[in-house]
Structure 1
């Protein structure tokens, strides 16, 4: 960390990184643990889907609310509550005797996780100003990205040599360290006077998403004619529609619909929905199939996707600089199309499995496309909104990404044809490629590069045209 930061600023960054680290670590651990969870607790593909989606439902639905709660009650208080909740839920997951209790604990964990990432970033932006703020966010991004690398490998080692349960208990270590550091912060926990929270909106959003996802996951088992399917689906749609209506009328919405009047913002979020839906599908399917279909150990399955993440880390900052000079549209168009090509390379996976020739080329091409896409996508969305609203803009984009992953995983049975065998794996690869291509097309048609002032510095930006 740069010596130009004070000790307190370094401590703020350390707390923010550790608080977010557990959420990123858990999100990347779970995919390699899914086959072992299913083997021990039963439930097959449905248990695996709900293990992922129970977390994403509460995370996606409550991450917007978390910003309002953080402003109203203070970021440090919210961080402390989120950390304690995440630790308790992680221990409950590790002790779960059956799929139902595991899924309930995962939902609680997602709710706690929703309060960690926005609050940790808000702690940085409210405590560190000027050039050091960009440096602090860069450190936060690099170290939390490292969690996505460590997660599959750490999870795989625990699954192979101890138990999948220990893969969740490991979250408690950084949480305890963070809780020990929090009282040592000298940052004043500011609270917005007169702030109000749309609790009803959060309730409608959570139940609406839950009803729709339940129907999508359980439909292959019960059929569309079952009351247990169509009733939650209809109620879920109605409640989510009520949530959207309320966000247009309530004084302090958790989802400000006015943001979607900005072209680059709504277009970027639509591209996000396609791209991050595809990323969730790819991560789930590759993590599970490499173990259940190809016979790799959990550790090797975790290591299999590391080339993709390493390329993301190496390329992101460089591509971000280029996108700042020439605009994000080209990168947001080409990147997803490159990832689509990488997904299609997985069609070479056959009965006689060979990682080096059948999977590694896909991981490399996919990582190249991901590195081209991520930084310009984030810059286009946040750059479209005035700086004082960048926090809520970031929260909305994060929620869109989570909900997109949630819906795609809920539809997994339909995508793979009911079974994640070799044919299902190929079907998922094609679906991933189609979603990525859609993201590239949306970006090409909708994103506009910033208008430049000829007299300004070459790196200056103005509002999107």
Structure 2
């Protein structure tokens, strides 16, 4: 991996956006990669372990979906606050705090006696991830500029893909050999290394530049929680009950109140509405929501389909996902360079379209048939399309704001992506509740929806981004 880091961290090009040379460019990238890899590893590993957790702790489709959403909900709602906290208290300081909280919550997950305790620990993990994710990108955004920043972000995205690739097979092996609780201990050595490197080599940035919007954070969390609860209730019962309508209405009302509050606070808001005056920024936001919503549903449902519908072991299901992460990891750095040369519009249009075609290929998915002919073609196409989108999307978002808002912008983009996954997982509960042929049929319907969302996201990028 060290070979991959030399180019983006060349001392002559690794300058901050203030024009000051970064003292330890290589270690700065390493620290941010390790920190963000915590979130990537945890997400990919937990998906593979879902059926085993369900058998051990009990619970139906809604309970298992909340094992994912208990983590995604605070992550999506508080990423904005996490970015603003980095701007206020210093990105390195908040990054380290988030890593510590994430590690402690991982121990809680491993020791959980029941689903309620597990969901609580997962929620605390989400809070830790909301602190570390935007500040890992914020540190890169403030440490590099120009093409060097594009390559650094591409390397960061590549490392996340590698972490996601390692997570499912290693996690699947641990589930089989030791038990599902062992997967959460995977986070501890990574967290320790990230903290040590950040303390020694990463420079502090943005200290005292922002404010904390606790009112906005509370409203965003309550709105997302209410909406997610309503969607999960509807998807598991296959009916729009009165509680579901009440939850949906309350969520939308709180979203409206959140927008009003952010407008009133102006530049002191954790999500300054002035950012939406930019057409490209709006386009990137819509694209992120659609594309990552489509992807989030697949990442949760495919391992479940293979294990429950096809009799795969957790290790086999983890290995089945390996091509996805390998392709993204191999290509993300190249697409980061491409974006620096041709701009984001072309890769962010082509990538989602290819991804949509990959989802369409998932209509052939049948866990009882050959993996090589029914599953792998769709995974490969989705991975190729996402490789075109991951690094260029991140770079485009960071470039769309000034220095003061890099933490807020990266937090908002990550929050949008996680919100898409949150909503998709809520709907995925309807698929998880199925068995036999009904499970395969429901998965195919989800694949059609995902294909449409991905194709629309590519068209949005083409229509809103500049040449």
Task: Decide which structure has the larger Cα Rg and report it.
Answer: 1
Partner Cα distance (1:158, 1:358) in 2: 27
Taking the TM superposition and a 5 Å limit, the aligned residue runs for 1:21-170 are: 21-126=37-142, 136-170=152-186
Contact map agreement 1:416 1:427 (CA 8 A) in 2: no
Mapping of residues 406-425 of structure 1, within 5 Å: 406-414=422-430, 421-425=439-443
In structure 2, which of residues 260, 264, 270 is the aligned counterpart of residue 254 of structure 1? 270
2:386 is aligned with 1:370 = yes
Structure with more contact order per residue of length (Cα contacts < 8 Å, sep ≥ 6): 2
TM-superposed CA distance for 1:376, in Å, is 3.6
Give per-residue Cα distances to partners, 1:313-357, cap 9 Å, x unaligned: 333333444444444334333322222221122222337421011
| Paired residue secondary structure (2:312) | coil
**Unaligned stretches of 5+ in structure 1?**
450-465
Instruction: Name the TM-score, length of structure 2 as normaliser.
Output: 0.87
Q: CA-to-partner distance for each residue in 1:395-417, whole Å, 9 max, x for gaps?
A: 22111111111011112245678
1:356 pairs with one of 357, 372, 379 = 372
**Structure 2 unaligned spans of 5+:** 12-21
104-113 vs 236-245, which deviates more?
236-245
Q: Residue 462 of structure 1 corresponds to which residue in structure 2?
A: none
Deviations 1:192-247 (A, max 9, x none): 16x43111110111011101111111235568675543333332222221111111
Matches of 1:324 and 1:190, distance apart in 2: 25
Return the match for 2:353 from 334, 337, 344: 337
TM-score, normalised with respect to structure 1? 0.88
The one of 422, 438, 447 equivalent to 2:465 is 447
Partner SS for 1:250: helix
Is 1:278 the counterpart of 2:294? The answer is yes
Pair 1:177-2:193 in alignment: yes
What's the CA shift string for 1:144-200, capped at 9, x where partnerless?
32111111112111112111110011111122233344443473566216x431111
Q: For 1:421, what is the secondary structure of its paired residue?
A: helix
- Aligned Cα RMSD in Å? 2.7
Looking at structure 2, the residues matched to 68 and 79 of structure 1 have their Cα atoms a distance apart, in angstroms, of 12
Pair 1:291–1:186, CA change in 2 (3 A): closer
Change (3 A) 1:191 1:224: same
Equivalent position to 1:204, from 210, 219, 222: 219
Query: Which residue is 1:436 aligned to?
Result: 454
Find the aligned partners of 1:352 and 1:375 in 2 and give their Cα distance.
35
